[in-house]
Structure 1
Amino acid sequence: MTSPISLTGLSSGFDWGSLIDQLIQADSAPVTQMQQQQSQITTQQSDWNNLSQKLNTLSSALQAYSSLTIDSTFNVQSVTSGNQNLVTASVATDSNGNIISPANGAYTLSNIVLAKPASILSTTSNGTFQSGLYNFKIINNEYLASSHSTISVTATITVNASSLGDVANAINKVTSANVSATVINNKLIITDNYTGHVNSIAITNTANNSLVAGLGLTAAGTRAGTDGSFNVTYNGIITSVTTYSNTVNNAINGLTINLLNNVTSASVTITVANDASKVMSGIQTMVNDYNDVMDYINQLYYGTASKTVSAMASSSAAQTYGALNGDFTLVNIQSTLLSKMQQDFSGRTGVVNQYNTLRSIGISTDDASDSMGFNEEGKMSIDTTQLQQALTSNPQAVKALLQQLSSDLTDLSSGYITNLVSTTANGQGLIPTVVQSLQNNYNDLSDQIQALQDNLTQERNMLTQQFTAMEQAMAQAKAQSNWFAQQMAALPAG
């Protein structure tokens, strides 16, 4: 604290203004110390608030983690075809959209013969085609797999045609006929949109149209499609399958198979296996969010997210610590989070001895701690190979372990973390309480600083008044001395 610019010591020759500044500066040391304490408090408040935000993020991740153990996520299966140009396959669903889980394994398909639709070929070519008004009906007998019944659909075709192409175009425009028409080598071909013997088509003349009769379509009668067939080999057992459709839903339970080409001299293997990618991705996300919190806790404790106790002890930076180093609340938070990840779930529902801890499935945490019990890093890591092996060898056991962990993490999220970060009207959590306590300390320091600064102002004013009085006295004494000297000099000599 300095005074306004002034000239001191005019009479005394003594720079007492600088002396006052030095005295006030010395007496201001407690103010400087308290201001430094306030700066530390501000840093700690910011650190606690940031930790609260990260804990909220972790809480959301822990809540979302529970979805990993539901069947629709955990029981995902992959289906691959050895040759997708010949056969494709996928997991089937029931009428309600629920997944039907097929048995894992290899299904080898051989001797594939595609189901075919019914076709009717005209006896008239474009060379003998007669132009005019064509009027006829297409009767399509369609099999409905959902009700195991057949319905008859009749579509009327009317066209003023000058070529077989005109007739084909007219047929294709009537989509309700469920057939397709084309002209190949000057012959009209009408083909059913559905395959197999359960589906058939027929052409009937309307009003005995002679032009229609001339096409030779009505003489064909009712034409049915032909069924397809293939063999399935599973675990050494060969089963023959006959199918009216090339999309097969009922041959292998839980699989929808699409036959794309005839295969007579080779085979195609469909492989069904557990797909752990979604579970592993979810675990990785949860671990990342957890480690983000641990990194920040390390930063608050050690001043860095990665420096461990042993590394600090052997480095020149060993004396650099975080703003919350030694804080028991911070140690307790880390310890509680760690304990959930390191616990043994033996004896709980579905848990087997082989997979009773996260470490047993490849998810481990750091163990070394300092003298206060603070873990050196406390972070989690995933051995993806070990986790994949566990999910492959005994997925239900891993699922049971993760379900128990999920239950505990949900409690951790809704209980412990909520009690840490809550700012509801029902009561503040531990961290907001700590932040408020720090604010109270900050305010107390502000009051003390203000009181000290008021005292220092009074001290400066008092010293200034005292030195000013001294200057005035010395100036008066000097004036008197000068007057006396003048009087003495004025006396006559002798």
Structure 2
Amino acid sequence: MSSTSSTGSSTGFQLTGLVSGFDWGSFINQIIQADSYPITALQTKQNTNSTQISALNTLNTNLTSLQTSLNTLNDPTLFNQRTVASTTANTTWGLTAANGTTTGSYLINVSQLATATTLKGTSNIGAGLSSTDISSTALSALRIATPITAGAFTINGVQINIASSDPTSTNPALNNPMSAVINAINSSAAGVTASYDTTNDKFVLTSNSSSPIVLGAANDTSNFLQAMRLANNGTTNITSSGTLGDVAQYSTLNNAGLNTAVSGAGAFTINGVSIAYDPTVDTLSSVLSKINSSTAGVTAAYDSVNDQVTLTNNKTGNLGVSVADTTGNLMASLGLSTGTTSLGLDAQFTVNNGGTLTSSSNTLDTSATGITGLTVSVNSTGSQNITVSADTTKASSAINDFISKYNALQDYITQETQITSSNGQVTTSVLTNNREVQDWATTLRNTAFNSISGLSGTVKMLNNLGIDFNSTNNDLSITDQTAFNNALSNNASDVSSFFTDTTNGFSKQFTSFFNSVLGQNGGTGLLNSQITTLTSQNTDMDTQIATIQRQLDQERSTLTKEFTAMEDAQSQANAAQAQIAKL
């Protein structure tokens, strides 16, 4: 019988036994299949190794997670976290408690806030408006504290309008001088006479009758009266409450309209810091910016209402501020050389009804209160009860994370090493025969369970924290939540020592185990050695399989050639026999 058979490891088919009637192709396949058993055995072993490698890699991940969790527990700051709060609802005081701040309640009574020293220059440093200003300078360009706005203002019930542009015979505009407004008032039915007092730099309204002047109305839209500093006084004569001329902040100092002209380029010092200026280039605004950006430690500002410059210390407390003209006279021109200094105040407070304490700052830190780690930033006087408590949130989370990672590791080892029996059928696991891995589980359990010697505190084992093993497996759990919470809240120092002691701490107990199993400082540990060995075995078996396959391919080729030769010989014999039969 003939058949179709593969002739080797390559694809392609041929009919065998056409002459001999012997299906030698199937015969060769059976031989090769029988001789291929070593390859099948090696591949089975490779699959077993690969499954073990995968299990060991997962074990490595679990071990590394546990090690990371223990490293977190080895941080001393974890166990001295603090929370701080005031018993005053919606307090605006800023409260901070550093790690390790002594827990307890602190009654802080602030009787005086710290303030900053202020040097106020003399007022009215700007020269008054001139007759030229009144007669020819546009309202919008007047050197006054508050720019005039267009709209209507009211005197004795009569509205006078200032247009934004395009004046009329009765209504002046912002591009008209003040004299146009004076004329509009005087020609109106308001019954007053308006004038400008050049001597005192003030706007004057005088009633044309014995009736008092009434200024303003609810529907006024121009701020002219406010800009002229005019207000009702119940009399027949109203005068500006202050001088009108101010310093032009953005004009050069030479053109700023100062009462005392700046003599020329020069320099001045504030708190010993020198600042130079040039009156042909610098403006009041630029000089103030130079002061504020310097290291003088003050903030300079211009008060347009009072027409004065003010220096305020950037730090609170009873601290001085000094100014002096080095060359030139700018400080004198700005009224600072003859200004008035109001010294700042130190904060005054008590702690727990003790003696009065002082602080140059409203930030009452350890140096002020004597309470290490507590900082209270106050912005109001009065008493508040400040409570510092242990913040166990992070420590509790870290311990629970350790328990979770420990249990995950132990559960995985149990799963991969256990032997089960059901209905007389025994089933092994991937790492059942790996006694080393099983020993690691035992070592971890003993290390976690043991009481630690060499610790002076009351916490010497997990059981002292209310943590214990389950009776049925290797898992840990918090069996006494009250004891656990109490230890973290009231015995944080001993808990910290238990976990973080550099010689005998709980985390330290695992060091040799992890160094051995996972390796130390980049070295190869026992676990990685197992993975490397199994990987190397698989590589070696790949080589063996390739060698055996080459031998099988050669064997197939040789047998095929021999049976083909037999077929050829048989064919020739049959042909010769046929020729003989014809004779």
TM-score over 0.5 (shorter chain): yes
Q: CA deviation at 1:405?
A: 0.8
Aligned to 2:138: none
Within-5 A mapping of 1:352-391: 352=458, 355-361=459-465, 368=472, 387-391=484-488
Q: CA deviation at 1:408?
A: 0.8
Aligned to 1:272: 388
2:443 to 310, 332, 336: 336
Is the Cα contact below 8 Å between 2:73 and 2:399 reproduced in 1?
A: no
Within-5 A mapping of 1:205-216: 212=332, 215=335
| DSSP 3-state at the match of 1:272 | strand
Aligned to 1:192: 313
Query: How far, CA to CA, are the matches of 1:270 and 1:137 in structure 2?
Result: 50
Q: CA deviation at 1:27?
A: 4.9
Q: Kindly, what percent of the aligned residue pairs are identical? A: 23
Within-5 A mapping of 1:447-462: 447=544, 450=547, 454=551, 458=555, 461=558
* Number of residue equivalences: 433
Is the Cα contact below 8 Å between 1:158 and 1:170 reproduced in 2?
A: no
Q: 1:380-404: per-residue Cα shift (whole Å, max 9, x none)?
A: 5678966554211211221122132
Larger gyration radius, structure 1 or structure 2: 2
Query: How far, CA to CA, are the matches of 1:185 and 1:438 in structure 2?
Result: 87
| DSSP 3-state at the match of 2:101 | coil
Within-5 A mapping of 1:3-402: 3-4=7-8, 5-48=13-56, 51-52=59-60, 55=63, 59=67, 62=70, 64-65=71-72, 67-69=74-76, 72-81=77-86, 86-91=92-97, 101-125=100-124, 127=243, 130-133=258-261, 153=272, 172=292, 175-176=295-296, 178-183=298-303, 185-188=305-308, 189-196=310-317, 198-201=318-321, 212=332, 215=335, 218=338, 220=340, 223-233=342-352, 237=353, 240-249=356-365, 250-255=368-373, 257-264=375-382, 267-280=383-396, 282-283=398-399, 294=410, 297=413, 300-301=416-417, 322-345=429-452, 347-352=453-458, 355-361=459-465, 368=472, 387-402=484-499
What TM-score, normalized to structure 1?
A: 0.66
Is 1:412 aligned to residue 531 of structure 2?
A: no
Compare 242-251 and 201-210 and name the one that shifted more: 201-210
Q: 1:103-150: per-residue Cα shift (whole Å, max 9, x none)?
A: 21222333443122233444533527653335899987xxxxxxxxxx
* Aligned amino acid, residue 89 of structure 1: L
Closer, same or farther: CA 314–186 of 1 in aligned 2, 3 Å: farther
Q: CA RMSD in A?
A: 5.0
Q: CA deviation at 1:263?
A: 3.1
Stretches of structure 2 that go unaligned for 5 or more consecutive residues are: 127-242, 247-257
Greater share of helix residues, 1 or 2?
A: 1
Closer, same or farther: CA 171–451 of 1 in aligned 2, 3 Å: closer
Stretches of structure 1 that go unaligned for 5 or more consecutive residues are: 93-98, 141-151, 303-308, 370-377, 488-494
Is the Cα contact below 8 Å between 2:85 and 2:386 reproduced in 1?
A: yes
| DSSP 3-state at the match of 2:443 | helix
Q: 1:63-93: per-residue Cα shift (whole Å, max 9, x none)?
A: x347413xx454333334556863113347x
What TM-score, normalized to structure 2?
A: 0.58
Closer, same or farther: CA 323–442 of 1 in aligned 2, 3 Å: farther
Query: How far, CA to CA, are the matches of 2:380 and 2:523 in structure 1?
Result: 66
Is the Cα contact below 8 Å between 1:110 and 1:263 reproduced in 2?
A: yes
Is the Cα contact below 8 Å between 1:291 and 1:380 reproduced in 2?
A: yes
Query: How far, CA to CA, are the matches of 2:108 and 2:38 in structure 1?
Result: 88
Compare 161-170 and 395-404 and name the one that shifted more: 161-170
* Aligned amino acid, residue 101 of structure 2: P
* Aligned amino acid, residue 82 of structure 2: Q
